[in-house]
Amino acid sequence: MWGRLPNPLDLLFPPLCILCTSPLEGEKIVCGRCLGNLSPTGLGQWREQVRVGEGLDEVWSAYWFDDQMKALIHALKYEGLRGAGRRLGEAMSQLLGTDCTPEKYGLLIPIPLHWNQRRRRGYNQAEVLAIRLGQLWRITVGRRCIVRRRSTQSQTGLSVQERRVNVAGCFRVTGKGNGLNVLLVDDVLTTGATASACGLALKEGGYGRVSVITVATPPKDG
């Protein structure tokens, strides 16, 4: 970016890739080699295989949620490294930006966190991804189209049915959808229960087609 002076500390302590610890050369957070070594799912549009897909027209997931990906998403969610999200946004854009035809969407919508969780984390990781994708694809990001009206228990460790119940009805659309086609953005999609609850709320709120794109999904039955 222009106008940014080099950080003198970078000369003393050159920034290192958070995955392989090799010195970064003008890159942020993670080196190009490590990004290139992530495992693409190759699933294409995989809505038909998602366990909870009601309310969703298309599902896209760029990479498998393997150890490398876990480390990157952990950095984004729990270590305050928003730059990891920007890098992941770039990687997913490069991988899926042609196949998912982003130009057919009028809006990118990050799956919202409850305000309390957002306050604790300081930001919504899905929003970091959506903003980067929005810049690359020239699509507006709708940050307040949908809100999470109650704090939900983490989906980790819950069965498919429990996940469905946990998030059912927890999203509320704030305005009118006017038939707009939207692309939801999130970090990881597991059963699809959260994205599905969002999709159902958006459709009920008058939106048109609702698809979701995520950085990662766990390998099947893994």
Question: Which residues on neighbouring strands pair with residue 173, listed in sequence order?
Answer: 146
| Dihedral sign from CA coordinates of 74, 78, 84, 89 | positive
Of residues 38 and 195, the one with the C-beta less far from Zn ion: 38
Measured CA to CA in angstroms, residue 117 lies from 124, 154, 214 at distances of 9, 11, 20
Which residues within the stretch 22-81 sit at the binding site for Zn ion (CB under 5 A)? 31, 34
96: three-class secondary structure by DSSP: helix
88 near Zn ion (CB under 5 A): no
- Measured distance CA(221)–CA(122) in Å, rounded: 33
Q: How far is the CB of 31 from Zn ion (least distance, A)?
A: 3
Q: How far is the CB of 19 from Zn ion (least distance, A)?
A: 5
Is the distance from CB of 91 to CB of 127 less than 8 angstroms?
no
Q: Which stretch binds Zn ion (CB under 5 A): 19-27, 62-70, 131-139, 194-202?
A: 19-27
Of residues 31 and 72, the one with the C-beta less far from Zn ion: 31
Q: Which of 19, 84, 188, 212 binds Zn ion (CB under 5 A)?
A: 19
CB atoms within 10 A of CB 7: 10
- Measured distance CA(122)–CA(95) in Å, rounded: 28
Q: How far is the CB of 192 from Zn ion (least distance, A)?
A: 31
How many residues belong to the site for Zn ion (CB under 5 A)? Answer: 5
Nearest-Å Rg of the Cα atoms of the chain is 17
Q: How far is the CB of 162 from Zn ion (least distance, A)?
A: 37
Is the distance from CB of 149 to CB of 171 less than 8 angstroms?
yes
Q: Is 27 exposed, middle or buried (0-12, 13-18, 19+ CB in 10 A)?
A: middle
Q: How far is the CB of 71 from Zn ion (least distance, A)?
A: 11
Q: How far is the CB of 34 from Zn ion (least distance, A)?
A: 3
Q: Which stretch binds Zn ion (CB under 5 A): 20-28, 62-70, 99-107, 146-154?
A: 20-28
Q: Which of 7, 20, 80, 206 binds Zn ion (CB under 5 A)?
A: 20
Which residues within the stretch 128-147 sit at the binding site for Zn ion (CB under 5 A)? none
How many angstroms from the chain centroid is the CA of residue 203? 20
Q: Which stretch binds Zn ion (CB under 5 A): 10-18, 42-50, 57-65, 80-88?
A: 10-18
Binding site for Zn ion (CB under 5 A): 17, 19-20, 31, 34
